[in-house]
Amino acid sequence: MPRALITGITGQDGSYLAEWLLAKGYHVAGMVLPAGVEPLDRIAHLTDRIQLHSGNLLDQQSLIDLVEKCAPDEVYNFAAPSFVPQSWISPVLTGDITGLGVARLLEAIRKINPQIKFYQASSSEMFGATRETPQTELTPFCPRNPYGAAKVYGHHLTVNYRKNHGLFAVSGILFNHESPRRGLEFVTRKISHTAARIALGLTTELPMGNLANERDWGYAGDYVEAMWLMLQQPQADDYVIGTGALHSVRDFVQEAFDYLNLDWEKHIRTDPQFMQQVEGNRLVANPTKARSELGWQPRTDFRQLVRLMVDADLKQLRSQQRTSAL
């Protein structure tokens, strides 16, 4: 039975990957902060099938102890603050966890067992103010926020440990990937959740920022397959993962509201506090390499993704209504 260790297992990607690996017959362990620090709701349905261990990307010794105790064949590193605007509020902490945390984890692997395969969660935010569209594995990085800058450090460090120390270390440069497990602070989940609340008569307005912003949005449940496939290749390499299609925030709003038979223009209120501090350029993936070498492509299109998220929020809100009525 192969063994995997997932840092950030309580997050969106970590929870979907845990499900994927369990279905593949893996023994799955997850790193969490000390008890009570982070919610376990995304993995509540898995807790009887996985093992959770305390660890911290800020603490080198805790990572050494964790890798030694879990003895994994594969390590997937997701543990990092993932809400980009927050990185402007806590840039030093973002760099310490998202950047230096990768160094600490790679060092733990190198010291305990350099045969462990390592996956680093890189991000399209590394491209930032790119002059090339779409972006490939060879597109130069030009991050425009502390989160993207820290991800660039972790990405290059992963490449260096692969080349200098011979580790099987890869980076998945993932473009925006969403799901019902996204936090409510993310614009996609904010849209699906508020649209569902409006449909149920629980609110009337959706405060929004710039509706013209565009992103390459895919389904997180599809993307974890690509992560796993990267570690099954004969040689370690980096891959861009995305749909290759751009959609605006307005597209997402319209699709969600149309699905609920609502006129979105009657419910949108522009709120300056949601305008991004730095507007990114046109970030859209060219996933040709992933398609040709990994045999991977997304199964869920944009419309299916939006409807999947709206349905999940409707179900959750109706359940809450029934519970409160008891």
Q: Which amino acid is at 128?
A: G
The SS3 of residue 199 is helix
Query: CB within 8 A of 219, min separation 6: which ones?
Result: 177, 178, 179, 298, 299, 300, 304, 305, 308
User: Which DSSP symbol is given to 92?
Assistant: H
What does DSSP say about strands 214-215 and 247-248: parallel, antiparallel, or unpaired?
Answer: antiparallel
**C-beta neighbour count of 26 within 10 angstroms:** 21
User: Is 147 a known active-site residue?
Assistant: yes
The SS3 call for residue 296 is coil
Spatial contact of 290 and 239, defined as CB atoms under 8 Å apart: yes
Give dist(CA 205, CA 105) in Å, integer.
Answer: 44
Residues 122, 123, 171, 192: which is the catalytic one? 123
Q: Which of 76, 147, 161, 219 is catalytic?
A: 147
Active-site residue flag, 125: yes
Whole-number Å distance between alpha carbons of 207 and 306: 18
Name the token pair of 67: 């890798």
Whether 259 is catalytic: no
Helix (H, G, I), strand (E, B) or coil at 308: helix
**Strands 74-77 and 177-178, bridge-based pairing:** unpaired
Handedness of CA 271, 277, 281, 285 (dihedral sign): negative
- Which of 19, 74, 125, 178 is catalytic? The answer is 125
3-state helix, strand, coil in the chain (%, to 5): 45, 15, 40
Q: Where are the beta strands (DSSP E) in the chain?
A: 3-7, 27-32, 51-54, 74-77, 117-123, 169-174, 177-178, 206-208, 214-215, 218-219, 239-241, 247-248, 268-270
Strand partners, 70: none
* Closest residue by Cα to residue 171 from 122, 225, 242: 122
Residues marked active site are found at 123, 125, 147
